[in-house]
Amino acid sequence: MMLKKQLLLLILFGFSISLFSQNNKKTLAQSVDSILQTKPNTYKEIDKILKPFQRDSVKVKSIIENFIVANYKNGLAYEYIKLGNIYRKYSKYDKAVETHEKALEVADNEEFKIFSLNMLGVDYRRKNIYTSAIDYNKKALEIAEKIEKPNSGVLRSMEVSYNSIGNIYILLEQYSLAENSFKKAIEIAEKSGNKWSLSINNENIAKVKEAQDSLDLAILYTQKALTIDKSINNHYGRMICYNRLGKLHIKKGDYSKAKEFLEEAVPIAKSVKNQYYIALINNNLGWVATKTKNYAKAKEHFKISLEIAEKRNYKTALTEIYTNYSEYNQLTGNYQEALKYYKKYTSISNELLNDKTSKYVNDIIIKYDSERKTNQLKNLAKQNEIAQLQLVKNRNFWIIAFVTLLLFLAILYFLYRQRLFENEKKILTLEQDVLRTQMNPHFIFNALNSIKHYIINNEQKNAVHYLNKFSKLIRKILESSALKEVTLQEELETMDLYMNIENIRFSNEISYNIQVDESLNLSEIKVPPLVLQPFLENALWHGLSSKKGDKKISLSVKKLSNNFIQIDIEDNGIGRKASAKIKSNKVIQRKSIGIELTIERLNNFIKDFKNPFSINFNDLLDREENSLGTKVILKIPTQ
């Protein structure tokens, strides 16, 4: 009889569980059916109905399938955002990015576009890709600030934007800017009543104060965040606060209190399954155990943190772990291991630093790209001015010719010639300006792009070496741009820098050498600035760029007499005929004006000299008339 009663109770219990499960499913189904009838378009309205199901990825995916069938775009955006947040919570950052990109793609109004952009910013920040992170957050903020009457969802997104931008400023060590961003986020959160945001931004200000070594203020702001997290039952927030309070008290030397806070964080981190914070908390527990000389316990915690962080490549966390583990090994007498992990710390710190450096170089490239476009506009304006001057010159010719027939022919003709000379001189000056504006931005842009590759490939020595040469070249160009003449020694130094920079784009395959007659005093010989550059550029791009095998350019200077010097520029390229053939086969034909302008500049330069200059281009051939390269012979008067 007793057995029958027990069996009956088990059947009733199983039936109750089954009924409860069915009611739960019905609740989810009913919520989905309800929301599809009205299809609300704000985050708040959708969240009010679907919030109970957003912690379960299985339920979220089920809702997504229903919304795809119903083509409910803003509902899909909401669910993709929530699913991406779940992935990020468990440190699956690539999946988070992929899912949040889907949210941005389907978003059908400004609120969900802003929300999606912000979530992508947070994802990329967690991945340590700071440039993309701040770009997404700024795009979100730009859209939000244009909305005249933002709803609660938009306000919440603005909080996220300011929060994320503040975190980027922390990474760039701009602490006052970071604190200002977090305080703006707190100001908006207080208006909207968003306690979750208040907690996060107070904790972030604590992070700023910690970086500034204001430990008491850091503890104060962390306690504020913890109080809010407890009031809203935010387990994730409490975990972060307990971990930070533990770390801060270690820095203050209060190890017992530090241990209490960290032990509070451990079960929460395990319950939310956040591998990143499990690694950080174990690192801090290892640190506090090291400080209290409990080395066995310290090693146990460090082993857990290292295993997680190295497996998942948590670079930022690894910088802390390697530092503390190196200290542990030093104190326990394992000096070889201490050195090993200190080197690992140095390596990963440099890697993170190079990420920042790459961003700075990209910013420089963007800046010079903008300047290049501005200079192109100036270039067009100057060319138009040249055309106008030429029209004025022609018009004046006929006016003066007509007046000359009527009045004093000789006097008026002389005045006309004077005016014509002035116009020609002005045109020549403008043409020189055109040459500078064409070369400088274009060359700077390409040179920076070439140097950027060394940084991306982590070739630090090459990057620094060529950046130094690049800066010297730019300084020389800027100093000489306003001068009519420079010494031949300065010109050769500038050309050496120019060839070094250009050689990067040829993978340093070009052998370039300079030979100077020892009887010459280069500091007494004057030439126009950058006069040799077009000839070297021709040798590079028309002679050597299409050549295979060894590539050489030699520049020699010798004294012909007391009145002349001769500069020879010789390359072993494909020759002028082959170069012309390649040029004729190109779809777009561009006329090179560099040599023509150089000739005009030399004409203008020697007006006060007794002797003329000359330029000869010689094709170098072997006995079978095969091209061996090209030689440019430039004879320049010295007086």
Residue type at 604 in one-letter notation: N
How far is residue 306's CA from residue 308's CA, in Å, rounded to a whole number?
A: 6
Instruction: Let me know if residue 475 belongs to a domain.
Output: no
Query: What is the per-residue burial (b if ≥16 Cβ within 10 Å, else e) of 265-302?
Result: bbebbeeeebbbbbbbbbbbbbbbbbbeebeeebbebb
Residue 156 has what DSSP assignment? H
Beta bridge pairs of residue 487: 526
Spans in the chain with pLDDT lower than 50 = 1-4, 7, 10-11, 13-25, 360-370, 372, 430, 434, 437-438, 588, 590-591
Instruction: Let me know if residue 451 belongs to a domain.
Output: no
The answer to whether the CB of 123 falls within 8 A of the CB of 88 is yes
Instruction: Let me know if residue 470 belongs to a domain.
Output: no
**From the DSSP assignment, how many helices (H) and strands (E) are in the chain?**
23, 7
Query: What's the pLDDT at 617?
Result: 92
CB burial class (10 A; 0-12, 13-18, 19+) of residue 376?
Answer: middle
DSSP H stretches of helix in 71-151: 73-89, 93-106, 110-126, 130-145
Work out the angle at residue 233's Cα, subtended by the Cα atoms of residues 229 and 236, and round it to the nearest 5 degrees. Answer: 65
Count of structural domains within the chain: 2
Query: What's the pLDDT at 373?
Result: 57
Tokens 């100001």 -> residue: 187
Of 240, 348, 241, 331, residue with least CA distance to 287: 331
The answer to whether the CB of 88 falls within 8 A of the CB of 97 is no
Residues 6+ apart with CB under 8 A from 317: 276, 279, 280, 283, 305, 309
Of 627, 501, 527, residue with least CA distance to 575: 627
How far is residue 494's CA from residue 533's CA, in Å, rounded to a whole number?
A: 9
How far is residue 189's CA from residue 161's CA, in Å, rounded to a whole number?
A: 12
Query: At which of 83, 108, 133 does a domain end?
Result: 108
Residues 6+ apart with CB under 8 A from 610: 563, 637, 639
For 311, the 3-state DSSP assignment is helix
Instruction: Let me know if residue 394 belongs to a domain.
Output: no
Query: At which of 108, 127, 161 does a domain end?
Result: 108
Of 112, 157, 156, 110, residue with least CA distance to 138: 157
How far is residue 163's CA from residue 203's CA, in Å, rounded to a whole number?
A: 11
Quick count: other Cβ atoms within 10 Å of Cβ 257? 16
The answer to whether the CB of 610 falls within 8 A of the CB of 637 is yes
Q: What CATH number is given to the structural domain containing 58?
A: 1.25.40
E-assigned strands of 429-563?
486-487, 510-516, 526-527, 551-559
Instruction: Let me know if residue 75 belongs to a domain.
Output: yes
Query: What's the pLDDT at 426?
Result: 59
For 545, the 3-state DSSP assignment is coil
How far is residue 73's CA from residue 105's CA, in Å, rounded to a whole number?
A: 9
Q: What CATH number is given to the structural domain containing 628?
A: 3.30.565.10
How far is residue 176's CA from residue 253's CA, in Å, rounded to a whole number?
A: 27
How far is residue 15's CA from residue 27's CA, in Å, rounded to a whole number?
A: 18
How far is residue 137's CA from residue 226's CA, in Å, rounded to a whole number?
A: 26
For 458, the 3-state DSSP assignment is coil
Structure tokens at 615: 């330029």
For 212, the 3-state DSSP assignment is coil
Residues 6+ apart with CB under 8 A from 68: 76
Query: What's the pLDDT at 603?
Result: 83
Instruction: Let me know if residue 495 belongs to a domain.
Output: yes
Query: What's the pLDDT at 428?
Result: 58
Query: At which of 62, 82, 108 does a domain end?
Result: 108
E-assigned strands of 386-496?
486-487
How far is residue 536's CA from residue 542's CA, in Å, rounded to a whole number?
A: 10
Tokens 């992990």 -> residue: 341
Query: What's the pLDDT at 134?
Result: 81
How far is residue 379's CA from residue 433's CA, in Å, rounded to a whole number?
A: 8
Backbone angle region of 273, left / alpha / beta, with phi > 0 → left and psi within -120 to 50 → alpha: left
Of 572, 560, 567, 561, residue with least CA distance to 515: 567
Instruction: Let me know if residue 32 belongs to a domain.
Output: yes
Residue 627 has what DSSP assignment? E
Instruction: Let me know if residue 206 belongs to a domain.
Output: no
56: containing domain: 28-108
How far is residue 167's CA from residue 153's CA, in Å, rounded to a whole number?
A: 21
